Amino acid sequence: MKNKKLLEKGMEILFLICACVSIVSVALICFFIFVNGVPAIAQIGFFKFIFGTEWSPSNEPPSFGILPMIVGSLYITAGAIIVGVPIGLLAAIFMSKFCPKWLYRIIKPSVNLLAGIPSIVYGFFGVVVLVPMVKKIFHVNGNTILTASVLLGVMILPTIINLSEAAINAVPESYYEGAIALGATHERAVASVMFPAAKSGILAAIILGIGRAIGETMAVIMVAGNQPRITTNILKGIRTLTSNIVLEMGYAAELHRGALIGTGVVLFVFILLLNISFSVISNKRSK
């Protein structure tokens, strides 16, 4: 009995240490980003940095406006949502309520495998398949907002499918049985009762999918064109916040380097807002 209590106490301490390491790691990351990024933002000027439309570090004087990258990130994320969310939700509904068991045993591992593919491999797929396809169909340079949106839409599918399916499966079966008892068909019961009842979990899945899309780097670099500009044409290339950091951090110095870290601060704030939204939705669901 004494050995068991010692083991339980030791495991409790180990779990506490692991939790503290996670918290300290996040705190150190935040400290590094803000300590190195905020002074650069202050030196450039907050409004010039956030709302400036020209990014020219090599000019004299240099210009560090990240509005084109913010708009580019929002464009591609919105495009990924338009592509990935409807497909992901319909796939989750099918897998949860309509899929035969023999087919489910094929689809489920395939979705999980899709989640494990490295982003660089997705990027190669985009370069080899999507870029030539867009180029052939629209007669433009294939590195466009549309290409990146389609690619990111595919990349967020596993997150949306798995979490949405889990949310639908978590709805009590009595909801479905009650709808059937009132005369609803199987399809109507799923669409009118089960799906709305799982909306909190589904919204959480969409928010996590958005977080994956807005933070993606390598695949976007390979297919988005990487031009720091504002455009309303989805057949033009753009640059995202993450791409901007990766492309220039290798040779950046002094204020240029600080501006790139400041870009990371802006991206971090976006992700933080998404996580807060996820926490709010999760809390509402648990009540």
Tens-place pLDDT, residues 62-103:
888 899 999 999 999 999 999 999 999 999 999 998 989 999
Domain annotation covers residue 6? no
Domain annotation covers residue 45? no
Which residue range forms the structural domain that includes residue 134? 75-239
Domain annotation covers residue 1? no
- What letter would DSSP give residue 142? S
Report helix, strand or coil for 127: helix
Q: What is the pTM of this model?
A: 0.85
Domain annotation covers residue 171? yes
Q: Is the peptide bond before 61 cis (omega within 30 degrees of 0)?
A: yes
Domain annotation covers residue 226? yes
User: How many domains in the chain?
Assistant: 1
Domain annotation covers residue 124? yes
* pLDDT tens per residue, range 154-186: 999 999 999 999 999 988 888 888 888 888 888
Domain annotation covers residue 251? no
CATH number, domain with residue 107: 1.10.3720.10
Q: How many residues are present in the chain? A: 287
Q: How many angstroms separate the CA atoms of 235 and 38, rounded? A: 34
Domain annotation covers residue 154? yes
